[in-house]
Amino acid sequence: MECRVLIISGRLYVEPRHRDPYLNRVTDFLVRTRAKPGCVDFVMAADPVEPGRINLLEVWESQEHLTAHQATANPPEPMPTVLRDEVRLYQISAVGPVFG
């Protein structure tokens, strides 16, 4: 079965006092990544319940697009330390509307 879409989804955990600085540092990176060919969406957002949690979502049209992005990503440095992550790659073979 051919993969049509890749989704990277999960959680990053940082010290609660570092979460907002972390998100501020990645804003330009998110803008640049969203402009890349094949990037459907890229979001990093503060979790409204857990103070040190950052929710991550990336959607890519293909593995080739994701690989090209990873080769040229150039994320900002230095960054606050990620204490742990729970991030997974999902390979989606079909996409359709949720409502209607």
Residues 43-62: tens digit of each pLDDT: 999 999 999 999 999 999 99
- Whether 54 is covered by a domain: the verdict is yes
Q: Examine the pLDDT at 96 and tell me if it is beyond 60.
A: yes
State the CATH number of the domain containing residue 72.
3.30.70.100
pLDDT mean over 73-92: 94
Of the pLDDT bands very low, low, confident and very high (cuts 50, 70, 90), residue 84 is: very high
CB 7 within 8 A of CB 42: no
83: which 2 tokens? Answer: 């204490």
pLDDT at 2: 59
Amino acid at 88: R
pLDDT: which is higher, 98 or 57? 57
Domain that holds residue 20: 5-92
Residue-level pLDDT at 49 = 98
Separation of alpha carbons 28 and 72, rounded Å = 14
Answer yes or no: is 99 within a domain: no
